Amino acid sequence: MPRMLMATRNQMKYLLFQPLFEEAGFETLTLAAAGLNHIGGLETGATTLENALIKARYFHSPDYPWVFGDDAGLAIDALDGEPGVETRRWGGQFNEEVDDQTWLDYLMKRMQGVPLERRTANIFAAWALLAPDGAAHYREVRFPFTIASEPFRPILPGSPLTAVRIGNAETLQERRAEIRAEWYRWGVLSELVKRFG
């Protein structure tokens, strides 16, 4: 069974994407399990696509011929597109290790007084898949939603937005379904499996 190295330390992303790779016949491997947890400082790109490609290329090697990198940003309409690509760090407001609750508290503070009809936002994500031949395959997607005026569900670790996200994909299962639909529209993984096995 081929192994897919997932170039992320975010447990939420692992939970979201692991089933997709398993359905395609891959064993998924985390950076921690591979002893490759040194990902800090890699996200130097100006866009989520650049960051996804940087991470995937960094870990691609003969030992790990299949690598998946992704990056996601957040654009809040009422905040003129903040926080943008550096979502977790919020443009330098925090460091990479900021905890979920602190990040969520800051979001709620920034959105204080904004009426529900103006609390619209988009998650914009990029996925980069490196195959054994080193070729990079990528896709960019957007997921619109509304930010609730206060948290109404527990935070899922690594994704503080889950506490306030109103939209078509509010739970982990719904987000998996949302990503799965986009994944199959992309269709690249099944083609690569046929080529490389």
Name residues whose C-beta falls within 8 Å of residue 76's C-beta, 6 or more positions apart in sequence.
82, 83, 110, 111, 119, 120, 121, 147
38 three-state secondary structure = coil
Is the C-alpha dihedral spanning 57, 58, 60, 64 positive or negative?
negative
Catalytic residues: 71
d(CA 54, CA 69): 8
In 3D space, the residue among 43, 12, 15, 10 whose CA is nearest the CA of residue 28 turns out to be 15
pLDDT at position 184: 87
* Lowest-pLDDT range of 29-43, 109-123, 148-162: 29-43
Average the pLDDT over 11-37 and give the result. 89
CA atoms within 13 A on the CB side of 34: 22
Q: Report all structural domains of the chain as residue ranges with CATH numbers, in order of start.
A: 3-196 (3.90.950.10)
pLDDT in tens, 95-134: 888 999 999 999 999 999 999 999 999 999 999 999 999 9
**Which residue, chain included where needed, has tokens 């130097």?**
44
